[in-house]
Amino acid sequence: MNRYKVSYYAHHFGTGHLRHAQKVAASELFDLQVTSTGPRKDTLLNGTLEYVELSPDVGSAAPPAKVSSDSYLHFAPTGDLIQQRFAELNRAWKEFNPDVVMVDVSVEVALFARLSGYPVAFRRMPGNRRDQAHQMAYSLADALFAYFPSDLEDPRHMEIFGHKSHYLSVAQPSENSSSADPTKLNPAQKSRVVVQTSLASSIRLYHVACAAAKSPEWDWEVVGAVEADGTPLPANLILHGVLSDPIPIMHSADLIISSAGHNAVVAAASCHRPVLLVPEDRPFEEQHTFARNLNTSANIKMLDTWESPVNWSEVLEQAALSVPEGLAKALFVKPADFTAKLHKLIHVCALGTRVR
């Protein structure tokens, strides 16, 4: 296979974009450059790659400027900071000379890379992305890539951009030794539900506490952040906070309730337990769209919000009966298949051709 040079732009919000960059690095298919804000995070990026630390595009004292929804750009400040950032990007690309720039994810960086003369592979994410900025990025990109399978895609997107969209899915994680039978890990105790939240969670403690109080026959545990609001904890609710590795706790649950952020869903799927998705509010309805698509395509159980008026005992009981492997089957492919799809994406993008 051809050894391509790939520059991967990883947006700095959260850890997900850097985790995807690490998966590209782990494939060992390419000479890889990763560009992102701030110093290299060794816990997220390891192996042989070139990391370029970009200056932030806003000052610590100034909130990001807002751009109207009908703009061709999502975030377009002016001034020294943004000028310095794009100068650093341009210099990094010129020195590295990539065959393809993968953008995960920024409309402005994709536009800048394309105008700078580089083939661009732009990440397609779930949600209502029919605004002008996203549509422009999809149009100018030489290829689009998504970390989900094509059967979770919006048919309207396929009609317009399906010819250049590549659906990489998620490489099946290696088996974890903590994936033992949860009945052996938790003998003769009440059923356990583990709630996994997203980074910068929008879930209020009040709503989780109410759900736990209304289902006293279940023990509730939360891994991740919740919005503290002074609500007293019922006796059957434990808050673990943000953990470096929540997977062992999730593996031993009778049911996982997860937000519908990409990495949260992948983590839940890797546990091979029944899953109930409760999406959090995000721009472009990202989590709600992903949860609905998984519900429609793979029958993954979901609630619209934590505020939905439901009988929690009944919801938990029914969700716990769902197929434990359902989410994994909906998302995962063999690592070799992921690698082959990734190489095809870069090959097609570098040659300026289209998927047939």
pLDDT digits (tens, 9 = 90+) for 160-173: 999 999 999 999 99
pLDDT band at 65 (very low <50, low <70, confident <90, very high): low
Six-digit token string for 163? 């010819």
Q: What φ, ψ does residue 54 adopt, rounded to 5°?
A: -95, 145
State the average pLDDT over residues 259-286. 96
Q: Do the Cβ atoms of 115 and 103 come closer than 8 Å?
A: no
Q: Is the pTM of this model over 0.85?
A: yes
Tell me how long the chain is: 356
Cβ neighbour number for residue 225 with a 10 Å cutoff: 17
Residue 231 CA: distances (Å) to CA of 79, 201, 202, 213: 44, 17, 15, 12
| Cα–Cα distance for residue pair 92/101, rounded to 1 Å | 11
Residue 11 CA: distances (Å) to CA of 20, 168, 255: 11, 19, 32
Among 295, 297, 258, which residue's Cα sits nearest to residue 278?
A: 258
| Cα–Cα distance for residue pair 172/43, rounded to 1 Å | 21
Which H or E run includes 256? strand 255-258
Question: Which position has the higher pLDDT, 20 or 2?
Answer: 20
| pLDDT at residue 1, rounded to an integer | 56
State the average pLDDT over residues 308-337. 97
